[in-house]
Amino acid sequence: MAQPYPQLILKIEDALKKMLKGTVPVISTDQLADSINSRTDWIILDSRELAEFEISHLSNAIWVGHLDFSLSRVADISKVTKIAVYCSIGVRSENIAGKLLSYGFSNVWNVYGGIFTWANEHKTLVADNQQPTLDVHGYDKNWAKLLEHHVNCILSK
C-alpha cells in the first residue's frame, strides 16, 4: 500500500495526541487490514454520522452513529466478538468504543487514524452500493485538510 504524505501523518498524530483520552485500546489501519485480509473475524463499526457513512465506509462496516448511538444497534453482536470502531480520525470512535466496553463488550479497539488514514493509505472504501470509491466525507473544511489529494473529499456540513 502507498504511504500517505508524511506531513498528513504528523498532522493526524498531533490531533490524536491532543484529543484522545487513551481509555480504549487502539488498532492501526495496517493491523486491521491485515486481520481482515487473513479472514480473522472482526465486526467493524462506523461511529460517524449517517451522512458520512452513506458517502463511503469500510467494507462490511455497520453504521452505529455517534451523537445518536444506541445500544440497540449492537444488540445482535456477541460481547466477546472482536470489534473495531472507527470514525474520521479516531476521536468519536474512542467515545463509542468506551461505551461498548462499559456495556460489557470485551474485545473492542479504536481504529487509530480512522477512515482518513485508511483512505490516505489507499485502502479500499465502498459507497452505499458496495462499489469501491475514493469519496470520503471530510467532516468540515478544517478536518478535510487531513485527506490526501487522491481522495475525493465531500463536504456536506
In tens, the pLDDT along 77-101 reads: 999 999 999 999 999 999 999 999 9
pTM (predicted TM-score) = 0.94
**DSSP at 152:** E
Instruction: Flag whether 1 is in a domain.
Output: no
> Could you give the number of structural domains in the chain?
1
Which residues contact residue 79 at a Cβ distance below 8 angstroms, ignoring those fewer than 6 apart? 103, 104, 105, 106
What CATH number has the domain bearing residue 130?
3.40.250.10
- pLDDT computed for residue 1 by the predictor: 56
Instruction: Flag whether 71 is in a domain.
Output: no
CA distances from 150 to 4, 119, 130 (A): 10, 9, 20
Residue 157 has pLDDT above 50, yes or no: no
> For residue 122, what are the domain limits?
6-65+77-154
- pLDDT computed for residue 77 by the predictor: 97
Residue 3 has pLDDT above 70, yes or no: no
- pLDDT computed for residue 61 by the predictor: 96
Instruction: Flag whether 72 is in a domain.
Output: no
